[in-house]
Structure 1
Amino acid sequence: MKYWPLLLVLFFSAVFNSFSQIPQLTEKSQISLLTCAAGDELYYAFGHSAFRVQDSALGIDVVYNYGTFDFNRPNFYLNFVKGKLIYSLSRRSFDRFLFEYELEKRWVKEQILDLTVAEKNDLLVFFENNYLPENRDYLYDPLLYNCSSITGDILKQQFGGAIVFDSSYLDKQYTFRQLVRQHLDINSWAAFGIDLAFGSVVDRKATVQEHMFLPYYAMRQIRNTTKDGKPLLKRERTVLDYNEHIQNGFFPLSPLFWFILLLLFTAIVTFLDKKHGSRSKWLDFSLFLFTGLIGTFLLLLWFATDHTSTPKNFNILWALPFNLAIAFIYIFQSQLPQWFSKYLWFALGLMGILIILWIAKIQIFSPIVIPFMLTLAIRYVFLLKFAKV
């Protein structure tokens, strides 16, 4: 009995070493792309993609998943804000991979690729090389380099010009912002936050291959891809058959509801201020402080991070970073400074420029900002008249 632990160690070592030597796949092998449905959490909202390698003759059935991240990694949230989030390639059995989607009742579709045995073995070598500890981590980019976009990159890297991505299935080529909005309720805090953080750089049209950063588009693209002039897709099947998750928002909890409420509240307070010849400094301080904090954060996302999607963000034309300083100058001075009216004209003028940029489609803004901009405009115009008294 005392030899059993040693025998077990030797057995598992042999199994691990046999796989680490990369077995030669047989004629019964298959390599496929798995596409998983969107879920309820924000990081599941766009679906998921992964590769499956199976060979019934060798007893292999594993999933290579480029969408693995670890909340417990040091400075995870700080790196997320800085645009330095690390994702990893993981390898696990197909059954273990599928269990999560069964639990959450999310559909999974499988697209088997039409490859020769030699090409399958080359792909397996590629995956195993990527899975080495020194290679498995990569710098994640939500729009340009993620678990789904890497599908197109791998196919191009492995097969070069033999791979052709046909765009005929697309109604049109969308911008990155339009593609993201297709998976979110625009009147949700998640969509508003993403729209707020995105700069004008995401309002360019994505290339045909760049559409593949969304798993649903990667799946559709595989149906419309050829290798050496022949369809890359050999067969498609549904592994788990569940209905699409529908996001049902509750309007009283939505940003539009609260911003309309703020607009009405500000209009009433401003009417009363005008009637009584007073100004509600606490309201103005709050608006200056809030917009100043937002503007400062957006400015940092633009210049102080590595995010590729946050530069050139003209939301700072209404969320002025200067408002952060103005808030404290305003609250601690009993009389408005002489230059204050000029600053208000400057702020109103910048909002006018924002509208022009919006109309010209240089940057598309969330419609949710409209009631908030009207709120600011009401107070700016009121303070302009109050400064003349």
Structure 2
Amino acid sequence: MLSYLKKTLLIYPFIYSVIFFASAQQYEISLLTCDPGDELYSAFGHSAIRVQDRLTDQDLVFNYGTFDFNTPYFYVKFTQRTLDYMLSVSTFERFQVEYNYFQRNMREQVLDLSQEQASRLVAFLQENYRPENRFYRYDFFYDNCATRIRDAMEEVLGNQLDWNEELNPEKKTFRTLIDEYVYPLPWADFGIDLALGSVIDVNASEREKQFLPDYMEAAFARAVIVGDGPSRTLVKEERVILDFPPRPSEMDFFNPYVLWWVFAILVMILTGIEYRKKQIYKAFDIGFFSILGLLGILIVVLWFFTFHSQTKNNWNILWAFPGHLVLGLALLKNQWKPWLKKYLLFALVLANLNLIFWVFGIQSFHPSIIPLLLVILLRTNFMYYNLEKFSNTVVK
């Protein structure tokens, strides 16, 4: 009997310790941060949550950055911001294979969550993954693959999560933050600055900066868990999963900076030839101002007819003005119209107003539009003073 009691006393603590250890170590949860890729859709990096379940031996990645290419009217919905993104789940191995193929670095931050906190986070993710919950309306700045993870952490941890923000952080606007990532893609940089309005020329708070995965990673590294015992950092371990040597940057001279200046110089030469010959080659002005007018229509559509909040108050419309299309069409006619001179003066004022908006910080414009503004100023001036004078020697 005494021997039985001794064995029981020895076995039960062992059993309880095994059960406690298994329970305490069930989940290991990590933030995965992936470096930017070479295409625009991947230029800002990516964030995802890794969940390792030691009881079931599952290793899953919860990814808020996926969408269905087979969605009806995909590109229309993408342009209008009516395309829904979704939470998807894959194995970590499958997730890693993709980033290994594209040679994009991947880092992991293992979170120092209690078992209760980890279980609540897993339950939150599983609830989000239900078919009726997994879709959401994507917003690049305020509701994306990174901010969804931040919001999940705040929902689960509540007041126990202290982001421990810097007291005097560097001030950066949303546009500046974007520019940090798209400078290797000059045409994408130009297109983004053309499409997005003055609403992104405001300073982003430290929390708002977390829409970018790199800034989310830095925020997690600073964050502290409080209120459930001694304060501890949110991240207990950092690992490098994929690490590739930096790829050499290639200098492509076919970019808006070079191309628009070459274009401006050629237009100056053309204008000099026209003045010397007392002729106007209006085929150029028809094409140039028609293209500006079409760009203006695109700006109007993005400003007033989509759900994108970042395309509002876009003062690129001062140089890419929809009315310029009317000017281009009017120049197609052989007969000179008196109202053309008034419109040319109006276009000249708009281009100058664009410079004023830039100087006074109302909106930051892409630097490569400077030669385009010079062309607008040059051609509107030239036609304003010479269109009537050279009307008999206009060359189509």
* TM-score for the superposition, normalised by structure 1: 0.90
Give the RMSD, CA atoms, in angstroms.
1.7
- Work out whether residues 151 and 218 of structure 1, in 8 Å CA contact, stay in contact via their aligned partners in 2: no
Cα displacement (A) at 1:231: 1.5
Q: CA deviation digits over 1:179-220, x for unaligned, max 9?
A: 000011277111000111010000111111110111111111
Secondary structure at the aligned position of 1:353 is classed as helix
| Closer/same/farther in 2, CA of residues 158 and 247 from structure 1, 3 Å limit | farther
The equivalent of 2:355 in structure 1 is 355
The equivalent of 2:275 in structure 1 is 274
CA distance in 2, matches of 1:186, 1:302: 27
- Work out whether residues 27 and 119 of structure 2, in 8 Å CA contact, stay in contact via their aligned partners in 1: no
Stretch moving more, 285-294 or 230-239: 230-239
CA distance in 2, matches of 1:35, 1:244: 17
Q: CA deviation digits over 1:360-379, x for unaligned, max 9?
A: 21110000111111111111
| Closer/same/farther in 2, CA of residues 246 and 138 from structure 1, 3 Å limit | farther
Secondary structure at the aligned position of 2:60 is classed as strand
Match of 1:160 among 158, 161, 177: 158
Cα displacement (A) at 1:34: 0.2
Match of 2:200 among 194, 199, 202: 202
Aligned counterparts, 1:56-205, within 5 A: 56-168=54-166, 171-185=169-183, 188-205=186-203
CA distance in 2, matches of 1:243, 1:86: 35
Match of 2:232 among 215, 230, 233: 230
- Work out whether residues 33 and 45 of structure 2, in 8 Å CA contact, stay in contact via their aligned partners in 1: yes
- Work out whether residues 187 and 255 of structure 1, in 8 Å CA contact, stay in contact via their aligned partners in 2: no
CA distance in 1, matches of 2:300, 2:166: 39
Cα displacement (A) at 1:247: 4.5
CA distance in 1, matches of 2:169, 2:73: 41
- Work out whether residues 292 and 325 of structure 2, in 8 Å CA contact, stay in contact via their aligned partners in 1: yes
Q: Structure 1 counterpart of 2:285, which letter?
A: D
| Closer/same/farther in 2, CA of residues 246 and 302 from structure 1, 3 Å limit | farther
Q: CA deviation digits over 1:312-365, x for unaligned, max 9?
A: 000000001111122111212x23321222211211111222112111211100
Q: Structure 1 counterpart of 2:243, which letter?
A: D
- Work out whether residues 327 and 340 of structure 2, in 8 Å CA contact, stay in contact via their aligned partners in 1: no
Cα displacement (A) at 1:151: 2.1
CA distance in 2, matches of 1:83, 1:295: 20
Larger radius of gyration: 2
- Work out whether residues 54 and 60 of structure 1, in 8 Å CA contact, stay in contact via their aligned partners in 2: yes
- Work out whether residues 169 and 206 of structure 2, in 8 Å CA contact, stay in contact via their aligned partners in 1: no
Q: Structure 2 counterpart of 1:116, which letter?
A: S
Q: Structure 1 counterpart of 2:150, which letter?
A: G
The equivalent of 2:257 in structure 1 is 256
Aligned counterparts, 1:322-341, within 5 A: 322-332=323-333, 334-341=334-341
Secondary structure at the aligned position of 1:63 is classed as strand
- Work out whether residues 288 and 327 of structure 1, in 8 Å CA contact, stay in contact via their aligned partners in 2: yes
Cα displacement (A) at 1:236: 0.8
Stretch moving more, 301-310 or 139-148: 139-148
| Closer/same/farther in 2, CA of residues 246 and 55 from structure 1, 3 Å limit | farther
| Closer/same/farther in 2, CA of residues 193 and 371 from structure 1, 3 Å limit | same
Q: Structure 2 counterpart of 1:256, which letter?
A: Y
Cα displacement (A) at 1:177: 0.3
Secondary structure at the aligned position of 2:68 is classed as coil
The equivalent of 1:365 in structure 2 is 365
Cα displacement (A) at 1:140: 0.8
CA distance in 2, matches of 1:158, 1:187: 38
- Work out whether residues 336 and 388 of structure 2, in 8 Å CA contact, stay in contact via their aligned partners in 1: no
CA distance in 1, matches of 2:248, 2:53: 36
The equivalent of 1:21 in structure 2 is none
CA distance in 2, matches of 1:245, 1:71: 30
| Closer/same/farther in 2, CA of residues 114 and 169 from structure 1, 3 Å limit | farther
Query: Structure 1: which 5+ runs fail to align?
Result: 1-23
The equivalent of 1:290 in structure 2 is 291
Identity %: 38
| Closer/same/farther in 2, CA of residues 140 and 249 from structure 1, 3 Å limit | farther
Cα displacement (A) at 1:165: 2.0
- Work out whether residues 25 and 120 of structure 1, in 8 Å CA contact, stay in contact via their aligned partners in 2: no
| Closer/same/farther in 2, CA of residues 126 and 148 from structure 1, 3 Å limit | same
Secondary structure at the aligned position of 2:309 is classed as coil
The equivalent of 2:44 in structure 1 is 46
Q: CA deviation digits over 1:288-334, x for unaligned, max 9?
A: 100000011001100000001100000000001111122111212x2
Secondary structure at the aligned position of 1:62 is classed as strand
Query: Structure 2: which 5+ runs fail to align?
Result: 1-21, 390-396
The equivalent of 1:242 in structure 2 is 244
Cα displacement (A) at 1:85: 2.1
CA distance in 2, matches of 1:244, 1:149: 27
Cα displacement (A) at 1:25: 6.5
- Work out whether residues 280 and 387 of structure 2, in 8 Å CA contact, stay in contact via their aligned partners in 1: no
CA distance in 2, matches of 1:133, 1:247: 42
- Work out whether residues 37 and 47 of structure 1, in 8 Å CA contact, stay in contact via their aligned partners in 2: yes
Q: Structure 2 counterpart of 1:232, which letter?
A: L
Q: Structure 1 counterpart of 2:371, which letter?
A: P
- Work out whether residues 32 and 112 of structure 1, in 8 Å CA contact, stay in contact via their aligned partners in 2: yes
Which aligned segments of 4 or more residues in structure 1 are displaced greater than 4 angstroms? Answer: 244-247
